[in-house]
Amino acid sequence: MVATGTTGPRRLQRGISLVEQIMVVSVIAILAGVALPPLHHLLSRNRLQVAQSDFMTALQHARSTAAITGKRTLFCPSPDGHQCSDDTRWERGWLLGEDADGDHQPDGGPSYTRGAYATGLRIASNNGRHFVRFQPDGSAGGSNLTLLFCEPGGDNPALSVVVSNSGRIRGAPATAAQAASCAQAD
């Protein structure tokens, strides 16, 4: 007996229907909408921490260079990467260099420079102190320098780096007053 009307084993259809695809895209969109604000906050906080760490490393390098070479080493804001500026804003860039003649400019050009930081990041030093000059003994004469790191309009707490007269460098969260002054600095 021969079976009629059969053409072989039935094949199962494989694939994703349009409704399933729409559901997957909807779930991904909802998850992205929930995850983006905390991700933005995390990236913003990371920018502040990286800038603070960058400054602390450069300051420690400047101090050790002064102690090793026996020459005064200058750390100052510099938008052009060649000359120190009298500005108290550092986010446009800074430089490191020897300052044997004490004119607050690098002798023979800078030994290390850093260009501008990400837009929206504000780095300001306290008024009256816009450079650090480390002496061969590792000290940084003058008044203490406080650098504040903030993002105006952001919800991240501000950070600070303090250089004492003895040359000690430390990073810390900024006080509420410091954070307010950083956010309003122009």
Q: How many CB atoms lie within 10 A of CB 32?
A: 10
Question: Is 12 contained in some domain?
Answer: no
pLDDT digit string, tens, across residues 60-103: 999 999 999 999 999 999 999 889 898 888 899 999 999 888 88
Residue range of the domain that includes 84: 19-184
Closest to 134 in 3D by CA, of 79, 62, 31, 82:
62
Measured distance CA(161)–CA(27) in Å, rounded: 43
> Is residue 47 within 8 Å of residue 118, measured between CB atoms?
yes
Number of domains in the chain: 1
Element (H, E) at 75: strand 73-77
Burial class (CB in 10 A: 0-12, 13-18, 19+), 76: buried
The domain spanning residue 141 has which CATH number? 3.55.40.10
With a cut of 80, say whether residue 34 has pLDDT above it. Answer: no
Return the ∠ at Cα 128 (arms to 78 and 99), rounded to 5°.
50
By percentage, how much of the chain surpasses pLDDT 90? Answer: 34
Question: Is 9 contained in some domain?
Answer: no
Q: For position 41, what pLDDT does the model report?
A: 73
Amino acid letter for position 151: E
In terms of pTM, does the model score above 0.85? no
Question: Is 24 contained in some domain?
Answer: yes
With a cut of 90, say whether residue 19 has pLDDT above it. Answer: no
